[in-house]
Amino acid sequence: STITYTVQGTGGCSNVTATRTVTVTTPPSSGTLSGTQMVCIGNRTIFTSSSPGGDWSSDNTAVATVDPSSGEVTGVSTGTAIITYTVQGTGGCSNVTATRTVTVTAPLSSGTLSGNQNLCVGSTDTYSSTVQGGSWGSSDDTVATVDPTTGVVTGISAGTSTITYTVQGTGGCSNVTATRTVTVT
């Protein structure tokens, strides 16, 4: 748009004008941020914005780093970090930012398994792990069954079965498993 400033002429002098063009700029938007806010150490997640053209940064790179252009967040150590998305202002408008918190968790352990690896048909033994809270499973229930909560293994028929102990992953970390082979005679 053009702005005109006019001074009225007096004493027989003409009016004097000056003009200036003013450009009005729409302020930038940092958009709406999205992406998984839980990540395991060593794993990655992608943050995105509904508004393109910004740059990503992390307030705590000891916990989580972020690629400035792609928004790929990498878990470094346990804790939280604030990830900031900044869109540069133009035409006299200020920069705008949006933030999203990421929580980084440590991988779980399924522990060390113990229990008799040789059973007779019809006999039982209780398997255990040094880590609580997991569940048990058998690779072949026709050879050996295992109670999912107690770890009691029962020999069913001659053969070999793999007993698996699984701890459910949390905080962006995957499930972890440990195995122990049982031979039924």
pLDDT string in tens for the chain (185-residue length):
788 888 898 888 899 999 888 777 778 889 999 999 999 999 999 999 999 999 999 999 999 999 999 999 999 999 999 999 999 988 888 999 999 999 999 999 999 999 999 999 999 999 999 999 999 999 999 999 999 999 999 999 999 999 999 999 988 899 999 999 999 99
Measure Cα distances from 40 to 36, 78, 127, 171 in Å. 11, 8, 29, 7
Residue where the block lists tokens 């970390």: 173
Asked if 172 and 38 touch (Cβ cutoff 8 Å), the reply is: yes
| Amino acid, single-letter form, for residue 178 | A
Nearest to 166 by CA among 174, 157, 155: 174
* Long-range CB contacts for residues 117-121, cutoff 8 Å, separation at least 24: 117/180, 117/181, 117/182, 117/183, 118/182, 118/183, 118/185, 119/144, 119/153, 119/154, 119/155, 119/182, 119/183, 119/184, 119/185, 120/155, 120/184, 120/185, 121/155, 121/156, 121/157, 121/158, 121/184, 121/185
